[in-house]
Each structure stands twice: as structure tokens, then as C-alpha cells.
Amino acid sequence: MYFQKEKRMREFNQVAIVDNVSQANAITHLEPTQIDVIFATAILSLYMDLRIFCTNDSKLIEEVKNGDKNKLVIFDAGGEYDPDRLLFDRHQHGFEEHYYDFMKYATAGIIWKRFSMEILLKYDCPVSQIATVAEEVSRDLIHDIDVRGNGYIPACTEMSVSDAVELFSKNWDEGSTCENVSFIESVQFARLILDGKIRKSISVARAHSKMAKWIATSSGGVFVMDTLIADWEKYVLKSPNTKAKQLIYGVYPTNGEWRVQSIPPALNRPRDARKTLPVGWCGMSGERLVKKTGVKTATFCHPNCLIAGALTFDDALKLAHLALLH
């Protein structure tokens, strides 16, 4: 998988169904339409180009498993769970791998558990954050896929991720030639969801790290960011650092300018402020605001008194410090 950060362009590994086991690097059973198998395939395809041989021939699978040079991934088939030998079945007696809530792993879960570290390294996930990100992806996405894979259908009237992926499954009135096409389309869609969740989780982990450093170096009630992080106020309000409770304003860049923004008092009060900007600035812009504040590049103050702007960092900082004095 190739990921270009700036342009958000992704070139994924190939996924193909092959006709001969000699061409394959993975084996599963015929008609792999179950949601956990689809996601397991999507996970594997983030790790490598995937050439899957589908068979219910247990004798052939045993021969492959016991071959001296077997390096094939065998998943949701084969009757064994042994990650070191790349065997990932969970149907056999004695399989007891389970989640925090004692829900047993299905195939997506055991594949993610084995390959998540290598996959996250391909995404340039900071090594210190790999365990956190892997657990978040498992908890927020893979767990629910495995719940469905284990045969439980949550009582929910809204369309779930599983429901959305299953839209690509072959319908009863479509020919058998559609089976492979439907499977590949399902995997590709599942992979986009998985890719998005991984990127989001890595971004959040990086944000936590940056925010923690910025909060630690803040002073005088003003919190300065050198880049804008979405929902930065939530990070401040959730921070365990006692300095975060003393912060009044955040200063950050956006669209070539700088902003000063009041920090809300609580997560459920996003339109309130620990301290608003001065009432006398509210609704002013341009020369009127410059004259009122004495800050040369001040551009505006919103009528709600929660946010103001300036063309330069120094002037945005001046606005914040002036506001603290009012």
C-alpha cells in the first residue's frame, strides 16, 4: 500500500481470486461472503498484494498447512489457530480468544491482532502510538464486525458498517459469475472504511501528542498552536494537565491569518466561554477594530465575542493578552 499524505491519494495492494493454489498466497473457503471474512481480507490487503485461492477441499488445505515451505495465510478455514504458522481459523473446539467483553474473536479480529503492527508501520504511525491506535481500531470498528461475524445482529434501526458492506454482496437473482466480482467489491469498500479509520486514529494520536506538548508549554492563560487541529478545544478540556484548566484563549493559524478563540468551560457548553473577548470589540472589523484595540493587523471580532482575528501571530497574541486584561 502506498499513501501520499499531502494529496490523500492511496494506491492499494491488489486483491484477486486465483484458480490454482500454486498461484496463491492466501487460502479461504468457497463463497467467502461473511462480513468478518470480508474485513479480514481487507486487512490482509493492507499488508500485502493478495492472491486468494478459495476451496472447501480439507485434504488440500491440510497438505498446504503441513508443507515444509508453507507461507500461505489460511484464514476462516483449516481448523487451526496458530498465528506463527499463519493459520487463522476460529471454528474449531478449544478456540477461546476473546475481546475485553468476552465476545469471541471472529476472523477479522484475529487477522487484525496479528497484522496490525506491520500495517500501522506502513502508515508511518509513530511507534509509541501503535498499541493505542491498534486498540482503538479494534474497539471502534473490528469488534463490531466480529460481533456480526459471530452471528449476533444488534438491535439497531440505522444502517451499520456491516450493512453498508453487505450491499455489495451478490443478490439471489444475479448469476454465479457475479460472486467473485461482488466479493472483490465488498473487500474494496471495506478497505476504504478500514483505511479511513486507521488514518483518523493515527491523526488523533498525533494530535494528542502535539496538544500535550503545547499545553505543557503554555503560559499566562494563552494556549498557542503552530497548526490548527480540528476540535482542539476538546483536547484542552479533556487534558489531565492542570495547566489546561487555567487556559482562557487559544491562538492558532488558519488560511494565512491568525485567530484568537475563547475556550469553552465544558464539553457540553461549546457556545459558552471561560472568558469572552471584550464586549467593546464585538462585531467590529477593519479600521474600527484597529483603532479600538491599537493592534495594527486586527481584522475582526465576531459578534458572539468568542473569536477574533489578526494578520500576524504577534498581533493575535496581543489581542489575547489585551483580552485577558479586560
pLDDT band at 67 (very low <50, low <70, confident <90, very high): confident
Report pLDDT for 56.
Answer: 95
Residue 225 CB burial class (10 angstroms; 0-12, 13-18, ≥19): middle
Residue 48: phi and psi, rounded to 5, are -160, 160
Report pLDDT for 6.
Answer: 47
Question: pLDDT tens across 157-168, in order?
Answer: 788 898 899 888
CB 223 within 8 A of CB 263: yes
CA distance 228 to 22: 51
Q: What is the pTM of this model?
A: 0.85
- The SS3 assignment for 95 reads coil
pLDDT band at 2 (very low <50, low <70, confident <90, very high): very low
Chain mean pLDDT for the chain: 92
CA distance 141 to 139: 6
Q: Rg for the chain (alpha carbons), in Å?
A: 26
CA distance 1 to 119: 9
Instruction: Tell me the C-alpha to C-alpha distance, in Å, between residue 171 and each of 74, 177, 181, 183, 242.
Output: 27, 12, 12, 12, 57
CA distance 238 to 228: 17
Report pLDDT for 150.
Answer: 93
Residue 60: phi and psi, rounded to 5, are -65, -45
pLDDT band at 176 (very low <50, low <70, confident <90, very high): low
Give the number of residues written for the chain.
Answer: 326
Can you tell me the mean pLDDT for 285-314? 97
Q: Number of C-alpha atoms within 13 angstroms, CB side, residue 236?
A: 31
Question: pLDDT tens across 266-279, in order?
Answer: 999 999 999 999 99
Run of H or E residues at 183: helix 178-216
- Sign of the four-CA dihedral 47, 50, 56, 57: negative
CA distance 137 to 200: 10
Give the contacts of 311 (CB within 8 A, at least 6 positions apart).
257, 258, 297, 299
Question: pLDDT tens across 207-242, in order?
Answer: 999 999 999 999 999 999 999 999 999 999 999 999
